[in-house]
Structure 1
């Protein structure tokens, strides 16, 4: 039997869904503008070159495909809470959803297993730059939520 699009996902995200302004959620001169970047990797630690990521904050939406090395980059607004992040990818029948916290002090994080808590916190890399890597499976797998 030949798989159909309802049985497998991608890699056709990069063809139809992205748009030029997709990762540019706020203008450069926005007072709370930050860069959120990282890589998406699979269970073996290999890059996922054809994933699609979406962020959705109050009044803001962004969409970004990953590069050949699994990298992505958004320009969005900093938040005191978290940035919801959806990951669509080959082999995922539904997107997986996680949260990006810009600070490890968020009260919710106390409810997460300490050994896995770090997978929800972005690392600060400069004044307005944060790195958040997504590991889909295996060791250091990102915490994903059901919604």
Structure 2
């Protein structure tokens, strides 16, 4: 007997999982709203036009809309955006606040063809890292830049590289 050929999942995640408010964590007229924009690249450096990017974050005061959050708020904090034909995604949100001694960050999950499980990373903001971050401090210094967004005119850019020489740091949760 010969082994059954392996198969990858998708490309259906970007079709089946989006939801109406997906890319809009906050409404367009929300004061201080920013855009997080970027692209998803595969191991060959090619854009991934059928990935799905999810974000989860605290509000600007560092609280979550979750029963276990001590300062529970009304901020949804969740975004979901499929990549477009050019591999690009965008999320409209607010800058997060610090949580439990961690620098302000946004948690990111990426679902894509060829991945049997999501990959998880974080977005940090260069001007909000003054006091460091216990998780970021565990990442080798020469790889930390893969977790730090770059400022743009209306927010930040955060590209995600699934593999290769520019691979984004992913966390095993």
TM-score by length of structure 1 reads 0.89
2:119 equivalent in structure 1: 96
Correspondent of 2:83 among 66, 90, 96: 66
Q: 1:92-136 CA deviation, whole Å, 9 max, x = no partner?
A: 01000000012262612333211101000000012x410000000
Number of aligned residues:
143
Q: Distance in 1 between matches of 2:43 and 2:148?
A: 19
1:1-147 aligned at under 5 Å gives the runs 1=4, 8-57=8-57, 58=64, 59-80=76-97, 81-103=104-126, 105=129, 107-108=132-133, 109-126=136-153, 128-147=154-173
- Shift of residue 2, structure 1, vs aligned partner: 6.6
Q: Distance in 2 between matches of 1:47 and 1:17?
A: 20
RMSD: 1.6
Q: Distance in 2 between matches of 1:70 and 1:120?
A: 19
> Structure 1 stretches of 5 or more lacking a match?
none
Q: 1:45-72 CA deviation, whole Å, 9 max, x = no partner?
A: 1000100010112331111000111100
- Shift of residue 44, structure 1, vs aligned partner: 1.1
More strand by share: 1
Ranges of 4+ aligned residues in structure 1 off by more than 3 Å: none
Q: Which structure has the larger Rg?
A: 2
TM-score by length of structure 2 reads 0.77
> Structure 2 stretches of 5 or more lacking a match?
58-63, 65-75, 98-103
